[in-house]
Amino acid sequence: MRPNKLRQMHRDGRPIVNAWLSIPSAYASEVACHTGVDAATVDCQHGMVGFSDAIAMFQAIGTTDAVPMVRPSANDPAQIMRFLDAGAYGVICPMISTAGQAAQLVAACRYPPVGTRSFGPARGALYGGPDYFERANEEILVLAMIETREALANLDAILATPGLDGVYVGPNDLAIELGHSPKSEHDHPDVTGAVERIRAAVVSRGLLAGIFCSSGEAAQMRLRQGFHLVTPGNDAAVFRSAYAEHVRHAREPV
């Protein structure tokens, strides 16, 4: 089976840069993944992406060295299994707030006897290789998003879930849950303190700590803090920001 290089990068202590794909376009995904990113996550929660779009995007990602991952819309085993069958090599699952929810997530990503994933990898085996079934449990990456007050209260129990590879912090929802603006992730001590508490707890267990970032500069700062995987903004925001800058220059007085 094709190895999941993100696991080796984490073991080696190398930073992982992840693209966030919300535009339902194989071409846009391919372009994003030719920038040198290590992974690319297809956002099926807040992105405008349907299942057929996701398949085409996984295929585009597969033309590059980036590892294809997915954020499903919910902790729904049937949906998660379908994305894995379509070729996702990692799952970043939103709104994991209890150990029971984390265990359900892990089970959906692992074949028996350690999980409950149904067999039928379809495109997953085409991408992964002929021994997909034998090795999928050890290659597929499973990350739980921590973004609620309840998750903070249950953090230790969530991190103790067998088979969970790490967490991915959703700083915007976390800030809202703590009673602050989604833009306050770097400014309010409640939010910065919660993010650091999560990071420290994850790292102390040897798990992978990931986080969504608003920019490349913010991503670099998070890596300095000790996060392992960073996402320097999503494709739509980067596109809009870059295009707006070009328009601004075009409208400067001649």
CATH no. for residue 142?
Answer: 3.20.20.60
- Give the model confidence (pLDDT) of 6-63 as tens digits: 999 999 999 999 999 999 999 999 999 999 999 999 999 999 999 999 999 999 999 9
Q: What is the pLDDT of residue 96?
A: 98
Q: What is the CA radius of gyration of the chain?
A: 18
Average pLDDT over residues 161-179: 97
Which residue from 189, 187, 210 is spatially nearest to 198, judged by alpha carbons?
210
The domain total for the chain is 1
Tens digits of residue pLDDT in 178-222: 999 988 788 899 999 999 999 999 999 999 999 999 999 999 999
Q: What is residue 155's predicted lDDT score, i.e. its pLDDT? A: 98
Q: Is the Cβ–Cβ distance between 184 and 141 less than 8 Å?
A: no
- d(CA 127, CA 165) in angstroms, rounded, equals 21
The residues carrying an active-site annotation are 46
Query: Distance between CA atoms of 77 and 86, rounded to whole angstroms?
Result: 14
Give the pLDDT of residue 184: 79
Print the domain residue range for 9: 5-250
Determine the pLDDT at residue 187. 82
